[in-house]
Amino acid sequence: MSNAEISRALGKIACPCGLVGVKQGERHDLTTVAWFTQESSNPPQVMVALHPHRYVLELLDAAGEFVLSILADDQEHIATYCGSHSGRDMDKIKELDLATVPSTAISTPGVRDALANLECKVSNRYQSGDHIIITGQVVAAKVNSDKKPLLYYEHNIAHWGQ
Ligand SMILES: Cc1cc2nc3c(=O)[nH]c(=O)nc-3n(C[C@H](O)[C@H](O)[C@H](O)COP(=O)(O)O)c2cc1C
């Protein structure tokens, strides 16, 4: 089986686009993610795959919490920016002039205009292949709109119905 065909087939997995946010002390980073999903209903838990080089993972390991923000169809610019710059070199929230909202159960704020913000406390961390799987219990959440989600499909950001 060719690697190219495996990659093409994996591209057929349609994912939502989101942001993993962590505030640790004075440092606050937002990283674009497509490899995430709900993985438990009782307790409610999500999982996200983060490459070990991600700055956000460094903050997450120290903070033990994160906010998973689900992006709306009209937020491609946020996904592109937060997915192509590292918080090691800049403050993405300042650069994008992103409004944040205080969370209710954890210290990391949410993204004000995201479709939904899921406040998570880290429950497990596994090394798997070339990514780290983080699972988090959703301890509070807020839905902000009923817009369509932004998607990731065929290895690119994609839009609902297109
Ligand atoms: C659409 C999109 C989806 C992405 N999905 C993931 C992902 O699921 N996991 C991951 O580790 N990186 C993912 N990335 C790459 C990171 O967002 C990117 O390397 C980012 O600049 C890391 O920032 P940081 O160093 O501030 O954490 C994605 C990038 C884009 C544009």
Structural domain includes residue 60: yes
Q: Measuring from atom 7 of ligand 1, which residue has the nearest CA?
A: 33
Comparing C-alpha atoms, which of 69, 145, 158 is closest to residue 108?
A: 69
44 Cα to the center of ligand 1, angstroms: 24
Number of domains, the chain: 1
Range of the domain at 21: 16-148
How far does the centroid of ligand 1 lie from the alpha carbon of residue 141, in Å? Answer: 22
Predicted TM-score of the model (pTM): 0.97
The verdict on residue 91 lying in a domain is yes
Q: C-alpha distances in angstroms, 160 versus 2, 15, 37, 70?
A: 30, 11, 18, 14
Q: Whose CA is nearest to atom 20 of ligand 1?
A: 83
109-136 pLDDT, tens digit each: 999 999 999 999 999 999 999 999 999 9
HEC letters along 63-74: HCEEEEEECECC
Per-residue pLDDT tens over the stretch 15-68: 999 999 999 999 999 999 999 999 999 999 999 999 999 999 999 999 999 999
CATH code: domain of residue 48: 2.30.110.10
Give the pocket of ligand 1 (CB within 6 Å).
17, 29, 31-35, 49-51, 54-56, 79, 83-88, 152, 157
